[in-house]
Chain A
């Protein structure tokens, strides 16, 4: 039954090649790269994939019972699947992909085109059985439509049942390695939440010799190039519906998608195809200056779609531009706190971002560091961050506290941020590094690797692990080392530079008493602790597990 679906699939891909440029497809499919040269992925990664194929497929016949397994990981839109397809096409390798079957008794009255898996014949077949059948038979038998080319099995969607029972998945992989006849490629998407990583603990990777290639987010230069290519190609095929995007638009698309090529192409499509009418309007009003035209277009982008706006809003809060004149006067003793009104209303800025207040706070927190003009402003801002966090920590069914918390944080920041003297900040904003779910995952790993009865995770992380790291007991397993390295971050060099930065710009032009402890901006999240080792001094970052 797998064969039937494969046949259909193959047909589909063939026809898609024919009508690649047809109107009906989105840009992602229409302008997918067809050759290695066009891939926006770093050359080294492509070579890595290629050489893995060369080792395991071309140079023929791995040992029996040692079917190779490759794991591709990386963030979304970093070109994992695309690279694999292009390389496979290049080497004339046929890809068979497992698709999740429809598990219900299907309704035949709804004349559907075709169904995979033929579950009408095997209504009671479970997903796991289907999965096992597919990977074994797929590796053994050629497709009817296939002319003896090499093949690999691709797994992008792992049956969710395995997430609950990883042992079963491991068992399946073991069996596959023993009996499979062709390489298995698994593609995993690396997101903050991905539970699928738990399916590949280090010991399984070692046991089954799973080769891992991890993709990075696509570099901005490559992203630029890819986008430019697509714009050129699109302007050829799309005709009059297409409007050439402004350079500033391209720039902000690249900035906002953070190395996610797929997202970039989607945004670009939205921008290029959606503006036809607007530009036509502009043409009618031609007498207006062209400068205004371009300005209108760019501000439109910012106000309108996509994650572009999120970064603008961060800027709006952090730069907190103000009017020239003070309107509301305060009594004499509070003159110190008089400020001209801000140009933006923080609550409105936040509402337009459409993200949860938790994420927005983390974003602010991560990026505010560059804006502290003095230690005093840093400590004031930290106070409001912690207040916001404190308010937010209370459970509130109505959600009023959420908006209160973000409001307090944003207003506190806008009020207390001072511009550093003679220094303007032109950096790009970064995504938050702290992620509660990631730390939760890490906590799980810690418990998994260091099973000590009667110790809390907190104690493990704050006491036992740091000392384990310093003592370096010889009998630690590789897995335990991995967790240790992740958990007890030795940030000696990093810590030093951070402190230097602060002392340079703050301590000298501020008369206030400065204690280093106050400069710990990420108050409440990370507690820095100095532990003196025998020979070296380690800065150990402790992560808050609650």
Chain B
């Protein structure tokens, strides 16, 4: 078991139909994979939604057996300064690979938002000069880190976060294939901690499975080591009622368990944001106070006193001011 490949790689989709989420976008690219002549594309979206997977699928379908020689993949761990763009990319663009009509060599630049501006500038002309033989596929998290001239030369495709149901379905699927013993609350915890990031969900699933043999809520939170969202949820709800004693009791428990103030506060934000029962006004005020406290914590004041002050602030929003 210990020598197994990461499940993230083992279950990386190879066909468009296996890709979870963003169906329309994927369907559109699937059309291109059959027609050929894909324009230069930028895929952007949060981590773990399948950007790289989609590009690899596209390249594999387009190029078939010549995938190896007709694809150049560079990610942030490769050196991608101006020189690499000038030399490696250009040289690859110039190599001759015999491909059927409508097919092009593909240069995949993963995590393109970490490329320096100079390197992106250098890419600009290369993109145009070799458009007859080579197409670019860029993946990034936010599109505004890509300079305008590059954006203008590409079709920008946005990927949305995966829904919890999509992540859950995939995790159950993997659990079945791998014979993982799991409990409902374990899966729930996995989905909660992943926040729509499929890679993280699968990674945590594997770690929990390897580490504890059984996937339940307790074990998942041991692996991820986050303050338990249920406690935080209760705490927030007591605040919304103005009951500071109960809220403080929970805060003290969490603090005495040794969680850093930063973790507690950022989880409070996460829970508040997604809570369905809070009225909008309270939500706004809560997030405001949590934000301000988070700042204080980051500046070094992560004491229980600060967290208690936050609770007091939250309780006060509902109190009648005399």
Residue A18 interfacial (CB < 8 Å): no
**Contact B37–A76 (Cβ < 8 Å):** no
Asked if residues A353 and B158 are in contact (CB atoms below 8 Å), the reply is yes
**Quick check: is B13 within 8 A (CB to CB) of the other chain?**
no
Query: Among the listed A276, A400, A401, which residue makes an inter-chain contact with B31, where contact means beta carbons less than 8 Å apart?
Result: A276
Candidates A269, A329, A353; contact of B39 at CB < 8 Å: A269
- Contact among A22, A100, A157, A260 for B152, CB-based, below 8 A: A260
Q: Mark A48-91, 1 if CB is under 8 A from B, else 0.
A: 00000000000000000000000000011100000000000000
Are A26 and B95 in contact, CB atoms less than 8 angstroms apart?
no
Whole-angstrom CA separation of A75 from B151 in the bound complex: 12
B294 touches A400 (CB 8 A): yes
Q: Which residues from chain A contact B15 at a C-beta distance below 8 Å?
A: none
Q: How far is the CA of A359 from the CA of B292 in the complex (A)?
A: 21
Q: How far is the CB of B59 from chain A (nearest CB, A)?
A: 17
In the assembled complex, which residues on chain B have CB atoms less than 8 Å from the CB atom of A356? 142, 144-145
In the complex, B236 has a CB within 8 A of chain A: no
Q: Which residues of B sit under 8 angstroms from A267, Cβ to Cβ?
A: 155
Question: Which of the 9-residue segments B179-187, B245-253, B276-284 touches chain A?
Answer: B276-284
**Cα distance A299–B184 in the bound complex, in angstroms:** 36
What residues of B have a CB within 8 angstroms of the CB of A411 in the complex? 280, 283-284, 287
- How many angstroms from the CA of A201 to the CA of B317 in the assembled complex? 56
Task: Tell me which residues across on chain A come within 8 A of B35, comparing CB atoms.
Answer: 241, 273, 276
A390 to B296, CA, bound (A): 12
Contact of B287 with A102 in the complex, beta carbons under 8 Å: no
Q: Decide if A355 is an interface residue (CB 8 Å cutoff).
A: yes
Stretch at the interface among A186-194, A463-471, A491-499, A508-516: A186-194
- Docked Cα-Cα span, A295 to B104, in Å, equals 34
Contact A76 B152 (CB under 8 A): yes
CB closest chain-B residue, reference A27:
B39
Q: How far is the CB of B85 from chain A (nearest CB, A)?
A: 9
Are A415 and B294 within 8 A (Cβ)? no
Report the minimum CB–CB distance from B159 to chain A (whole Å): 7
Residue of A nearest to B265 (CB): A400
A132 CB within 8 Å of chain B:
no
Which residues of A sit under 8 angstroms from B269, Cβ to Cβ? 400, 403-404, 407
Given known A-B contacts A110-B91, A110-B95, A305 and B287 have beta carbons under 8 A apart? no
A22 to B279, CA, bound (A): 59
CB distance from A23 to the nearest CB of B (A): 5
Chain A nearest CB, measured from B128 CB (Å): 8
Chain A residue at smallest Cβ distance from B143:
A354
Kindly specify which of B2-10, B40-48, B201-209, B219-227 makes contact with the partner chain: B40-48
Query: A76 touching B148 by the CB < 8 A rule?
Result: yes
Cα A494 to Cα B157 with chains together (Å): 38
Which of A110, A195, A306, A412 gathers the greatest number of chain B CB atoms within 10 Å?
A: A306
* List of A residues within 8 angstroms of B295 by Cβ: 390-391, 394, 401
Establish whether residues B273 and A354, one from each chain, have CB atoms under 8 Å apart when the complex forms. no
The reply on A535 being an interface residue by CB < 8 A is no
| Residue interface mask A313-357, B partner, CB < 8 A = 1 | 000000000000000111101100111011000011001111110
* Distance from A403 Cβ to chain B, minimum over Cβ atoms (Å): 8
Residues 234-255 (chain A) with a chain B CB within 8 angstroms: 241
Q: Mark A81-124, 1 if CB is under 8 A from B, else 0.
A: 00000000000000000011011101100111111000000000
Do residues B39 and A26 form an inter-chain contact, with CB atoms below 8 A? yes
Q: Specify which chain B residues have a CB less than 8 angstroms from the CB of A300 in the assembled complex.
A: 24
Cα separation A23 to B294 with both chains bound (whole Å)? 55
| A404 and B294 contact, CB distance less than 8 A | yes
Contact B155 A266 (CB under 8 A): yes
Q: Identify which of A26, A99, A331, A415 contacts B280 (C-beta below 8 A).
A: A415
Q: A16-B132, A274-B29, A411-B283 are in contact. Are A352 and B94 (CB under 8 A)?
A: no
Cβ < 8 Å to A, chain B residues 135-150: 141-145, 147-149
B199 within 8 A of partner (CB) = no
Please tell me if A398 contacts chain B, counting CB pairs below 8 Å: yes
Is the Cβ of B287 less than 8 Å from the Cβ of A23? Answer: no
Q: Given A275-B28, A404-B290, is A304 in contact with B122 using a C-beta cutoff of 8 Å? A: no
Say whether A334 contacts B278, CB under 8 Å: no
Q: Looking across the interface, which residue of chain A has its beta carbon closest to that of B296?
A: A394
- On whether the beta carbons of A305 and B96 are closer than 8 Å, the reply is no
- Given contacts A114-B94, A191-B149, A339-B281, A304 and B24 within 8 Å (CB-CB): yes
Q: How far is the CA of A160 from the CA of B8 in the complex (A)?
A: 40
Which of chain A's residues has its CB closest to B113's CB? A356
New A-B contacts (13) at CB < 8 Å, excluding given A26-B37, A277-B27: A23-B36, A24-B104, A76-B152, A112-B91, A191-B148, A305-B25, A305-B156, A330-B282, A351-B161, A354-B158, A387-B291, A401-B291, A408-B288
A-B contact pairs, 14 of them (CB 8 A): A24-B37, A26-B39, A107-B91, A112-B94, A191-B147, A273-B31, A275-B31, A303-B160, A305-B156, A306-B156, A395-B298, A398-B262, A407-B273, A411-B283
Measured CB to CB, the residues of A under 8 A from B are 12, 16, 22-29, 75-77, 99-100, 102-104, 106-107, 110-115, 156-157, 160, 163, 189, 191-193, 195, 241, 260, 262-263, 266-267, 269-270, 273-278, 300, 303-307, 309, 328-331, 333-334, 337-339, 341-342, 347-348, 351-356, 359, 384, 387, 390-391, 394-396, 398, 400-401, 403-405, 407-408, 411-412, 414-415
